[in-house]
Amino acid sequence: MSPEEIRSQLDQLERAAGYHALRFDGHQPLGGRVAVLSSAFNPPTLAHFAILEAARAIGDIGSVAAMLTTRNVAKDVHGAPLEHRVGMLLAEAPRAGFAVLTTNAARFVDQAAALTASVAATAFDFVAGYDTLIRLFDTRYYAEGAMRAELEGFFAAHRLIAVNRAGFGPPEIAAFLGQPGVRPFAHRIVVSEIEGSLAALSSTASREALAAGAGAPLSEPVRGYIRRHRLYGDR
C-alpha cells in the first residue's frame, strides 16, 4: 500500500463521525484475545516491538496489534506524517507477526469502543508503558466526576497489560497499583517486563539520532523504510 493510499484512508478516518478503527495489514483473522499497543510510533523502535512480544507471551493472548493513534491526549503531530508511521509498521509487521491498526480516538476508553465496533475479534486488551498507565488514571482526561464510571466500564471488558519503561519497573508499577484510586482495578492489570536496555529506548531519542546521522535502535525494515522516504532528516 502506497503512502498516498494510506493517507486517503486516514483522511476518511479523521472525517468519520464518532470513534472508529481501521486495519491496514493483511487482514488475517485475529485469534483469541488481542493485545493492542496504542502509540504514536514516531518512529516505531525496538522497544515497541519488544513490548508486543512481551504481551504475546501472556498465556491467553492469541494475537497482538500495533495501533497508531491519529489523535493523542499528550502529544501533537510532528515528525513523520501519519501515513509514513503506518508504512513503517507495515514494513515490520510481516516479520514480527502483528496486526496494524489505526484509530481516531485518543483515550483508551474511546479506543476500546472504536475497536469493538470496527475490528472483528473476540476481545481486546490494551498494552501500556508506565507513563501511559498513569495517564489512564489522571482526572484531567475525563469530564468532571466521570472517571470512575468510565474506568469501571473499560475494565469490565478489557484488561491492561502494564510494561516497564526507563526507571519504572515492576516495583514502581506495583506501588502505583496500590494507590486508592487504582486499587479497585488492579486485578484487571497484568504486569509484564521487557529487558532494561530496551525499556530505556524512546522515539524522541531515535528521531534526534537520525537527524544527527547517528545510529538509532530500529529494526532493519523500519530503518530501510526511513531511508527510502528520507524521514527525520536521515542521512
- Residues 137-146 have pLDDT tens digits of 999 999 999 9
pTM of full prediction above 0.85: yes
- Residues 24-57 have pLDDT tens digits of 997 678 878 999 999 999 999 999 999 999 999 9
Cis omega (within 30 of 0) for bond into 171: no
- Residues 5-22 have pLDDT tens digits of 999 999 999 999 899 999
> In the prediction, which pLDDT does 221 show?
97
Q: What is the rounded CA–CA span in Å between residue 9 and residue 4?
A: 9
> In the prediction, which pLDDT does 119 show?
86
* Position 186 pLDDT exceeds 90: yes
Per-residue confidence band for 235, with pLDDT thresholds at 50, 70 and 90? very low
Phi-psi region of 232 (alpha: psi -120 to 50; beta: other; left: phi over 0): left
Which stretch of 66-80, 94-108, 139-153, 217-231 has the lowest confidence by average pLDDT?
Answer: 66-80
Q: What is the rounded CA–CA span in Å between residue 81 and residue 99?
A: 20
Mean pLDDT of 115-122: 85
Per-residue confidence band for 77, with pLDDT thresholds at 50, 70 and 90? low
Mean per-residue pLDDT over the chain, rounded: 91
